[in-house]
Structure 1
Amino acid sequence: MSPFLITRTLPEEATDAALRADVLRGLTRTPKTLPPKWFYDAHGSELFEKINDLAEYYPPRAERELLIAHSADIAAATGARTLIELGSGSSEKTRHLLDAMPHLHTYVPVDVSESALTQAGHTLVEQRPGLNVHALIADFTTGLALPGTPGPRLFAFLGSTIGNLLPRERATFLSSIQSLLSPGDALLLGIDLVKDEQALIAAYDDATGVTAAFNKNVLSVINRALNADFDLDAFQHVVRWNAANERIEMRLRARTNQTVKIPAIGLTVDFAAGEELRTEVSAKFREPVLRRELALRGLELTRWWTAGPLYGIALARPSAPPTAAQLDTSRRLWAHDRSS
């Protein structure tokens, strides 16, 4: 194969259609919600890079330290010849893994951004002449059609992004990945841990206001893409710790009574003063809870590395399918998540 290939499995019009559907669905429900993936236009990506450098925002540093310390262990434990990274972006997070895998044959970065994949792919094949890179323009949350690559394969989902999925979404995601795993394959997850509430709040509400600007950027995306008239100054960045569900929630609170028009989808939305629009959840985990969630989706937690109380990296492999009793427990847990 060529050292660098890129395949589009996501139709070019799919992003616009998904935005329209998410805005229509999220702003006509009670309470109002928007998915966090719409933070990330070019400006949103720049803001997120700044967030990663903030003193308060510990996850990228903690994950980097763990990858530096344990990539060789991960490589030895998996023997992977193919690395598949979901939501790869610039592929920066996985470079320590790539360096630790001398027998790696193929790297498959998966992302919705063609420009990010192209830039990262060309850089990687220049730096690693023996590595094949087959990038996929795809939305991994809607299913994956993977190229044929040698096994064993390691699927990597880093950046604690799994915490941005609600319980039902996590269950669907983990089940879909489990269905792709062959004997000998593995899944590597970056996991943010439950910790002191004050530290968690600070990580999402920095003193300089970068995260607040990032949160409001979702309104800018809708204004530009759907010709909406959101007034960003009319909304306040709000961060809450949902103790019952052990997750951070980012919200935008309307400062006044207001009406927003979104002509591209024929929608007019009223906000009452004080009404909140949820823009992100970020679940934090405890090792036994993660182990149970994985088991319910036919995955076994086999290795677990932590950076003190801050962050963890989990390695999971296919296991026996869950029993009827386990699935019933899963359904009851979902029913108790009042905010899903």
Structure 2
Amino acid sequence: MTTAVLDVYLTEADGQAALRADARAGLTAIPKVLPPKWFYDARGSELYERITELAEYYPFNAEREILRERAGEIAAASGAETLVELGSGSSEKTRWLLDALTEAGTLRGYLPLDVSESALRDAARSLAEEYPALSVHGIVGDFTQHLGRIPARGKRLLAFLGGTIGNLVPAERADFLHSARAALRPGEQLLLGAGLVIDPATMVTAYDDPSGVTAEFNLNVLRVLNRELDADFDLGAFRHVALWNAEREWIEMRLRATRRMIVHVAELGLDVPFAEGEELLTEVSAKFRRDGVRTELRAAGFELTEWWTDSTNRFALTLATAL
């Protein structure tokens, strides 16, 4: 059996420094904002897994449908020797790609990149056992910083699944796509998962389920700040809000203060005032149209070469080739 290799470019201290910087910048901004990556401590990851099981949260199941039905076509169109996956987590959906690429006879290596060293170690160990002929090389890193660390081994397919591209605002998306292009050689490919613009009611319900799991997930960012930065957020004083921004074509998740308060963040020496009704933006989830995806890819040096959607046209997997 092949032993998994792990490179660590992001330490716990790095993560703590980033949290402090993001919290200071975001809580003093007007309007207030926090990056969605801080949802994902152990509890946040567990809550997200529960969200993916909800009937209302269609993006997860729609992407899974495409991978299940089209993995063979993706493998044939890419001919990848190395599958690189960004934000891999447990690598659950990736197995369809691994199986299809293995069956196609091209796959030699799998390289997952994730910020969580523990999740990556568990996934790498499991995959090394499941695919004994596969070279598994994990990278503990941030896809916004460490794409240049990806080894150039064989023809690579860079997979960015889950619709995570939508959590980036346009300038961040452009930066990411340019970084992805810089990390790839001409002819190598990017497999991009993106939610599509559909009816607003369905999109909003996916981020505001009746059972309240997404609300609990949203509030978890305040738990993280309370624990890691010795803050005193009263979770009961904030309400989860999800809405469709038609102008920007994205879902916004916010936390709305239900009363006036001052939150003390001891680790930052910061007192943060909230007015009644004031909102803290915690996530955007952009939705896309085919022409817009093609335009953004082309601006970064990619050509859209394949486009697959689920049976209800709610989600797309795009294969783009580096020019």
Whether the TM-score (by the shorter chain) exceeds 0.5 is yes
Task: Give the TM-score taking structure 1 as reference length.
Answer: 0.92
Task: Find the aligned partners of 2:36 and 2:259 in 1 and give their Cα distance.
Answer: 23
Contact 1:248 1:281 in 2 (8 A): yes
Structure 1's unaligned 5+ residue stretches are 320-340
Contact 1:160 1:190 in 2 (8 A): yes
Runs of 4+ with >2 A deviation: 143-150
Contact 1:305 1:312 in 2 (8 A): yes
Q: Which of 304, 307, 311 does residue 315 from structure 2 map onto? A: 311
Contact 2:2 2:133 in 1 (8 A): no
Tell me, yes or no, if structure 1 residue 288 matches structure 2 residue 323: no
Instruction: Give me the identity figure in percent.
Output: 56
1:1-340 correspondence to structure 2 within 5 Å: 3-102=3-102, 103-307=106-310, 308-319=312-323
Task: Find the aligned partners of 2:322 and 2:188 in 1 and give their Cα distance.
Answer: 8
Match of 1:322 in 2: none
Moved more, 186-195 or 146-155: 146-155
What's the CA shift for 1:11?
3.3
What's the CA shift for 1:318?
1.6
Task: Find the aligned partners of 2:256 and 2:152 in 1 and give their Cα distance.
Answer: 47
Other structure's SS at 1:214 match: helix
Task: Find the aligned partners of 1:241 and 1:171 in 2 and give their Cα distance.
Answer: 22
Task: Find the aligned partners of 1:294 and 1:147 in 2 and give their Cα distance.
Answer: 20
Contact 1:105 1:150 in 2 (8 A): no
Task: Give the TM-score taking structure 2 as reference length.
Answer: 0.97
What's the CA shift for 1:309?
2.2
Contact 1:78 1:184 in 2 (8 A): no
What's the CA shift for 1:2?
5.2
Task: Find the aligned partners of 2:299 and 2:152 in 1 and give their Cα distance.
Answer: 28
What's the CA shift for 1:146?
3.0
Contact 1:87 1:109 in 2 (8 A): yes
Match of 1:333 in 2: none
Letter in 2 for 1:318: A
1:288-335 superposed Cα distances (whole Å, 9 cap, x missing partner): 01111111111111100011321110000123xxxxxxxxxxxxxxxx
1:259-287 superposed Cα distances (whole Å, 9 cap, x missing partner): 00001011110000000000000000000
What's the CA shift for 1:148?
3.4
Task: Find the aligned partners of 2:46 and 2:151 in 1 and give their Cα distance.
Answer: 34
What's the CA shift for 1:186?
0.1
Contact 1:153 1:184 in 2 (8 A): no
Task: Find the aligned partners of 2:3 and 2:152 in 1 and give their Cα distance.
Answer: 13
Structure 2's unaligned 5+ residue stretches are none
Other structure's SS at 2:178 match: helix
